[in-house]
Amino acid sequence: MPSNRIRFDGLKLTVQLIVALCLTGAAATGQSRGAAGPSGPLKAQLAPSAKSTVSSSNQDAPLTLTLEDALRRARMYSPQFQAAVTAAKMARENVVQSRASLLPSADYTMQDLTTQGNGILPSGRFVTNDGVHVYRAWGVFRQTLSADTFTLAGYRRATAAEDMARAQQEIARRGLNVTVTAAYYGLVVAERQYATAQQSLDHAQRSLKVSRELEKGGEVAHSDVITFEIQDNQQQQAFHEAKLAMENARLNLAVLLFPDFNQNFNVVDDLDTFPPLPTLVDVMNMAAAANPEVRTAMAALRESRYGVSQARAAFLPTLSFDVDYGIEANALALQSRASAFPEAGRLPNLGFFVTATLSVPVWHWGATLSKLRQAEYQRRQARADLSFAQRQVLKNLYSYYNEARTARAELSTLESSANLAAEGLRLNTLRYKAGDATVLDLLNAENTLTQARDSYATGLARYRVALANLQTLTGSF
């Protein structure tokens, strides 16, 4: 009995080992297969997004966004706008550095100059030192006086560059507003067209059902049923296309608003509450007061003018002062004996000396004159850019305003057409059931309603985008 039990226990242990090895091999195989999938940054991007999509769709409520919310989010995550913000911040730091270059500077240095001795002279092997040990502890004050110091051309040029960077930041912000507005209302229009396609599909299915019932009663021919079947197939195709367009519009907006490409959000449909259009006189006044394109060109012209002043200042002398105050002695002390003159006793070490340098430009092989010509060329180009910017703004102002005015004027017509098309479909449906209308009349009414609703939604979005384009010149109104 004991021997049999021992055999049974040994067999049981062997089976357990075999099962464990099989499980280990299966796990290793699964890991090796998983290694063939996406890896690196792509895997890091795909896995969290899939996880967030599942959790968002099953757990988190969708985020509801207005247009202002979308604009605020886009400014946070747009690399182009953030680059403009960074450029403006860097321009501000250039102003700080330019102002600092006009003011005196102070530094502190401390040195230990150890010279190899020669066994005879106390100054060692280098004649510039008066001992084998020299200590320097200096406070250095420096000031440079030039024509640029008195004219402040460099500082003002940096200030003009900062104004230009801020104007370009405003241009980037307004351009981003246009992009987000178009994407936002593109999604709203796509959702409306999707709803219209759904209604058209439902109506086509109802018409097909009615025609079959009428065919059974001998009131319509079988050709009507075939026509409605074709229409049902076409509406199903249109429904799928509208769904695809809506999904693509959501993707276009999601990439602008979310850093993790979140698609679990809804947008507020406020197309029917469109804002009024100001008069042309008001628009021109706002454009004259707050147009970033003209402001950029004017700042560029000011920068080029100060560049000419700086280039001319290079022909004038420069005077610089260096005041050194501290210790340069053989001992790091306020009083000590000089190695070269020990017989003089203990002498004071703390003192100062001033270095005044006058630099007069004499000959630089035409480089200074060449820089002046470059600055003048740049100023001439800046004047041409400013003139063109003013003309371009006027052209865009009239163009954008005419676009917005036309889009605004067409809204009432488009809305009326949509209402009339809905009423026409209702009447033709009743006439068809009564036998007074043909199948073509009913199909034409259904298609007219679909086109009228889609055109009205597109017209509303067109007016919003036209206002956004106009506000790139005038600012918000």
Res. 328: pLDDT tops 90: no
DSSP string covering 220-248, please? Answer: S-HHHHHHHHHHHHHHHHHHHHHHHHHHH
- pLDDT (mean) for 451-457: 95
- Note if the pTM is more than 0.75: yes
Q: Which two tokens stand for residue 304?
A: 């080029």
What's the mean pLDDT in 279-302?
92
Taking residues 232-247, report their average pLDDT: 95
pLDDT at 126: 64
User: So what's the pLDDT on residue 453?
Assistant: 94
Beta-strand pair 318-329/105-114: unpaired
Residues 392-410 have a mean pLDDT of 95
DSSP classification of residue 319: E
State the pLDDT confidence band at 130, using cuts at 50, 70 and 90: confident
Q: What integer is the mean pLDDT of 227-255? A: 94
Average pLDDT over residues 134-161: 90
Q: Which residue has the higher pLDDT, 439 or 177?
A: 177
- Given this model, what pLDDT does residue 59 score? 53
Q: Give the C-alpha separation, 203 to 422, whole Å.
A: 12
Q: What is the mean pLDDT of residues 11-17?
A: 43
Q: How confident is the model at residue 125 (pLDDT cuts 50, 70, 90)?
A: low
> 3-state class of 265 per DSSP?
strand
Q: What average pLDDT score do residues 90-115 get? A: 90
Answer yes or no: is pLDDT of 57 > 90: no
Residue 473 has pLDDT above 50, yes or no: yes
3-state secondary structure (DSSP) of residue 278: coil
The pLDDT value recorded for residue 133 is 82
Percentage of the chain exceeding pLDDT 90:
60
pLDDT value for 396: 94
> Which domains, from first to last, does the chain contain?
71-102+152-316+366-474 (1.20.1600.10), 105-150+317-360 (2.20.200)
Identify whether the C-beta of residue 287 lies closer than 8 Å to the C-beta of residue 392: no
Average pLDDT, the chain: 85
Tell me what pLDDT residue 267 has. 95
Residues 6+ apart with CB under 8 A from 27: none
Q: Which two tokens stand for residue 132?
A: 């084998």
pLDDT for 297 beyond 60 = yes
What average pLDDT score do residues 78-105 get? 94
**Residue 272 phi/psi, 5° resolution?**
-75, -20
Q: If we measure between CA atoms, which residue out of 464, 65, 48, 45 comes closest to residue 250?
A: 65
Length, in residues, of the chain = 477
User: Cα separation of 288 and 323, whole Å?
Assistant: 52
